[in-house]
Chains A and B, each alone.
Chain A
Amino acid sequence: MSYAPSAAAVKKIDGIIAPYPEKSAALLPVLRVVQDELGCVPPEAETWVAAKLGIQPIRIREVLSFYTMFRRRPAGKTIIQVCRNLSCTLAGAEDIIGFLKERLHVGPDGTTPDGRITLVTVECLGHCDHSPCLQIDGIDHGPVTRDGVAALLEELRAHE
């Protein structure tokens, strides 16, 4: 399967690459554009980006797998990212993750069968002062408790 981004995305990507003397330096922002368009960066897109930046696809895979903000597989409609880094873990993140797994019946990086919610565990979200924290579709919440998480899930359902 081959992949090519939309004309608008290509234009944006070209604009991002232009100022860099070393094209591969634009890798992170370029991957963001692709992910914004596709919801993830699948293998076909790795090949396209690699060719665009003149590097091997394996370099893209390294970066995608390093950063939890990138996804290699499609996600559900809503993404819940729970921090599992030091501060949050000390403040009880494991319990929160366990609670979410139980409620959603999915493991980390799993999507509910109805395709509504993807649960992801991530490295530091930059909200250590509100640990344990999580992010729902880009919005931070914290410190969260089991009850707080239950309420957030209710709210998500209500919004459908």
Chain B
Amino acid sequence: MSEVKMVGLTIDGRTVRAAEGTNVLQAAEQAGISIPHFCYHPAFEAEGNCRLCLVEIEGLPKLDSACSTVVREGMIVRTSTAPVLEARKDVLEFLLAEHPLDCPICDKAGECKLQDYYDRHGLFPGWFLEAKEKRQKKISIGKGLLLDRERCILCTRCVRYLRKVTGTGELGVFERGVRAEVGTYDDAPIDNNYSGNLVDICPVGAITDTDFRFKTRAWFLEKRPTVCPRCSRGCAVIVESVSGYPLEEGERRVFRIRAGENPAVNGYWICDFGRAGRRDIDEGRQERVIKSASPESELSWQKALADVMARIRSVPGPERAAKVAVILNSRMTREELTLAKRLFAEGLSLDKIFFADPKPGAADGFLLTEERVPNARGVLQAGFSPRLPDLDALAASVEVLLVFGSHLLDHFSEEAVSRALAKIPSKFLFSAHTGPLDRLAEIVFPLAVSAEKSGTYINIDGLRQSFGRAAEPAPGVVSEHEILGCLAAGLGLNVGEHDVR
């Protein structure tokens, strides 16, 4: 490892050591001193345009911006002297002089940096008599993004993001002075798979997402981290949901998914495909156990699972290898896969263990990978050699079939699957979302989605990432973990449920 040279400096009387090349803002942050800032973002070079991060540096005649000043040996920095506090107030006052103050109807309220900084560093009475400039408040800039030019504080984070990170450069700043405004080139829309990050990085409510706009208030949301399940990159994401609120019919539970920070995987960004995963959590879900013989009756999953066990037991031990089959998938967690291995391969000695996953998509050269499952490495590590079933062979010999997930249809036509399943006496479907396979199964079990579970995924680079439950499970759903544990217990098999990692 190359030696990183450390520099010693003093910030607010505290001795701080920071790597050479670090800026004062970062060095202070590392020492637990936060300096307010709008335009600085750790992913880009400092631009120093907002002036909120002004600090006192001994030996300099004027305040200087902490974000664009690199640490020097012996530097003495003060971040909360009277002139600094005064300067912060002034900067905020200038910004607010042209700000519409429409916080009551602004989606960013409650998580807006301008609002928070005014509360912490401003609190001056407004005394501008001049009318504020009227600007466009609802400009569609592409992909469900809306730009409000009155709220924009011209920090250029969005412009720099599209230049430095996606390299697509759809936004620019036109005109100058009081007329300066962010915009697209001749209305050419923002068009890349990472546009949702603009909403995350805009410090104010100038860029909003139509999927979230006016749907709730930021302070109602509970924010919990997890790992995105939509491809094999395993980006850190934050699931923002309401819990403890009785939901009305059709009301949202998960309001948005945002990028989490993970320097080892995704930095600060996630793709729009992953962000759209919020729909997987709320929409098209299986809501209860449905037994085709008595579709109306309310049935607990434990009771229904007794039927599955009875059917497995009805196949004599030595014949199970040939007559019982399971279809698993690479969205299952590492723990669930270990359980499945112990239960199906070791406990029941099944031969017919297959996998059906979503079809690969195109990788985009940045984060999104071809594999549209999060845990293909976990499948291998659990000791499986994943392969698709041969439908004819299944139909010819199998008496009991357990299907986890609905992705058989990504590989076979609905007709071919119906034909094969018609020949199998007992088939059970475990699935989070409703789909055409439902009507073919004897019993359908409503599964939890990954945000509702805890577990471990192993990403495309072999990185093990454990995550906790990020959203309260929808009522009535059950995880594969619970299903497999219960099956094992019922069948009298010891699968060592507590050491599955």
Binding site for B on A (CB under 8 A): 43, 56-59, 61-62, 65-66, 123
Contact = CB atoms under 8 A, between A and B. Distances in A.
Interface string B138-176: 000000000000000000000000000000011111111
Nearest to A66: B176
Nearest to A56: B169
B319 interface: no
Contacts of B170: 58
B172 A61 contact: yes
A65 B172 CA distance: 11
Contacts of B175: 65-66
Given A61-B172, A65-B174, 20 more contacts: A43-B186, A56-B169, A56-B185, A57-B185, A58-B169, A58-B184, A58-B185, A59-B169, A59-B172, A61-B174, A61-B185, A62-B172, A62-B173, A65-B175, A65-B176, A66-B174, A66-B175, A66-B176, A123-B176, A123-B177
Contacts of B177: 123
Interface string B165-209: 000011111111100000011100000000000000000000000
Interface in B374-427: none
Contacts of A66: 174-176
Report, as a range, how many residues of chain B touch the other chain: 10 to 19
Contacts of B184: 58
A61 B187 CA distance: 13
Nearest to B175: A65
Contacts of A58: 169-172, 184-185
* Most A C-beta atoms less than 10 A away, residue of B171, B173, B175, B185: B185
Nearest to A62: B172
A50 B171 CA distance: 15
Contacts of A61: 172, 174, 185
Nearest to A46: B185
A57 B185 CA distance: 8
Contacts of A65: 174-176
9 contacts: A56-B169, A58-B169, A58-B170, A58-B171, A61-B185, A62-B173, A65-B175, A66-B174, A123-B176
A123 B177 CA distance: 10
B45 to A, nearest CB: 16
A123 B170 CA distance: 28
9 closest A-B pairs by beta carbon, nearest first, are A58-B185, A58-B172, A65-B174, A62-B172, A66-B176, A56-B169, A65-B175, A57-B185, A62-B173
B142 to A, nearest CB: 14
Contacts of B173: 62
Contacts of B176: 65-66, 123
A152 to B, nearest CB: 27
Contacts of A59: 169, 172
A66 B175 CA distance: 5
A156 B184 CA distance: 40
B135 to A, nearest CB: 15
A56 B169 CA distance: 8
A58 B174 CA distance: 9
Contacts of A43: 186
Nearest to A65: B174
A56 to B, nearest CB: 5
Contacts of B172: 58-59, 61-62
A65 B175 CA distance: 5
A43 B185 CA distance: 10
A48 B175 CA distance: 21
Contacts of A57: 185
A79 B174 CA distance: 23
A82 to B, nearest CB: 16
Nearest to B169: A56
Nearest to B181: A65
A66 to B, nearest CB: 5
Contacts of B169: 56, 58-59
Contacts of A62: 172-174
B315 to A, nearest CB: 66
A123 B186 CA distance: 25
A140 B275 CA distance: 57
A101 B447 CA distance: 72
B175 to A, nearest CB: 5
Nearest to B167: A56
